[in-house]
Amino acid sequence: MDIKKITNPVLYSTMTELAFNVNSQFYGGRHYLWCTPYFGSNYQSPHFTVPPSSSPLEIYTTLKNEIVGSDRHANKIPLNRVGIRKGAEAMRARGLITEEDLQDIIQISDLAQPQQFRPLLCVIPRENAIASYKKVEVKDKANPLSYECIVSDLPQSAFDIIRLD
């Protein structure tokens, strides 16, 4: 949804440490984040209007479980590997990284150990997110109250990162 319709003062997002490091080294510290104003501790509440899989807490917990190997149907880490490569392709297409960068990111995403996908909780002041916000394209026809938005090219200085260990 349009971030300007979100009135909550803080947005949350969960990313992996590997994605954070790739963004820091190759993309000038600019981050691409799926955000929601709900941390997710109450994601089973009827008032929580994003899918459970979009809950930052749920994502955080899932990643942690995959790293320790306790999730039999683990797929978050493989999806993150693919997502990092897809993101690098997009950055290459925009001319923001070189072909050498792209190939290195692909190698990094292939070779990274599960522990390098440790989750990080990103806490983003709404006003900071708006400053970097381009256009939200998430359509939720069946659930117009679903509060999810994408913020791209967000500088590292615009948000805090927390580990819930």
Stretch that binds other proteins, among 7-15, 61-69, 124-132, 141-149 (CB under 8 A): 141-149
Stretch that binds other proteins, among 39-47, 63-71, 104-112, 121-129 (CB under 8 A): 104-112
Sheet strands (E) in the chain: 10-16, 30-35, 119-125, 149-155, 160-162
Q: How far apart are the first and last CA of the chain?
A: 31
Instruction: Render 109-127 in DSSP notation, one character per residue.
Output: HHH--GGGG-EEEEEEEHH
Single residue of 68, 94, 99, 127 touching other proteins by CB under 8 A: 94
Least Cβ distance, residue 138 to other proteins (angstroms): 6
Instruction: Render 52-67 in DSSP notation, one character per residue.
Output: GGG-HHHHHHHHHHHH
Single residue of 134, 155, 162, 164 touching other proteins by CB under 8 A: 134
DSSP tag of 36: B
Residues that bind other proteins (CB under 8 A): 17, 20-21, 25, 32, 51, 53-54, 73, 75, 78-79, 81-83, 85-87, 89-90, 93-94, 103-104, 106-108, 110-113, 116, 120, 134-135, 137-143, 146, 150, 152
